[in-house]
Amino acid sequence: MSVTVIEGDFVNVDGKYAIVVGRFNAFVVESLLEGALDTLRRHGVEEENIRVVRVPGAFEVPLAVQKIAEQKREDAIIALGAVIRGGTPHFEYVSGESSKGVLNVMMDHGVPVANGILTVNSIEQAVERSGTKMGNKGAEAALSALEMVSMLRQLEA
């Protein structure tokens, strides 16, 4: 007897992917987008199978993610944005609602939604996570999306 282990890999990941980008804090978010695109391309995803949808900020990301999920065109969706703490409670609303919103779409529609929305305390932390010393969270989100696509294909086979 052996244990059945179902785990995503990065081989069976050909498919369609959508990336939703909140434009706010664009200097950070564009680097997250580059990281996500680079990761998808390097895993063999064709350019014509990637849609990039831009919205004003992280708060609007869940609606676009939901509309894309309803269309059922893509195998996975990658949500990108950067919420940077300021001097007001606005940060809490935007970061909390955007994370909850993308999670709800994933659960309601059964489509993987990778959360690459940074929620950080400072611009420095945002820069560190968008391609410098803490890696690139856009690339990491794309990897999660690829892994989930592969895992679900095995689980549902």
Residues near ligand INI, by CB under 6 A: 22, 24-25, 56-60, 81-84, 86, 90-91, 94
Short-list 140, 133, 130, CA closest to 31: 130
Please list the active-site residues.
90
The residue with its CB nearest to ligand INI is 57
Three-class secondary structure of residue 56 per DSSP: coil
Contacts of 115 (CB under 8 A, 6+ apart): 79, 99, 102, 103, 141
The pair of structure tokens assigned to 42 is: 């390097």
Three-class secondary structure of residue 126 per DSSP: helix
> Least Å distance between CB 1 and ligand INI?
50
> Least Å distance between CB 87 and ligand INI?
10
| 55 or 148: CB nearest ligand INI | 55
| 120 or 146: CB nearest ligand INI | 120
Q: Which amino acid is at 127?
A: V
| CA within 13 Å, CB half, 4 | 3
| 13 or 58: CB nearest ligand INI | 58
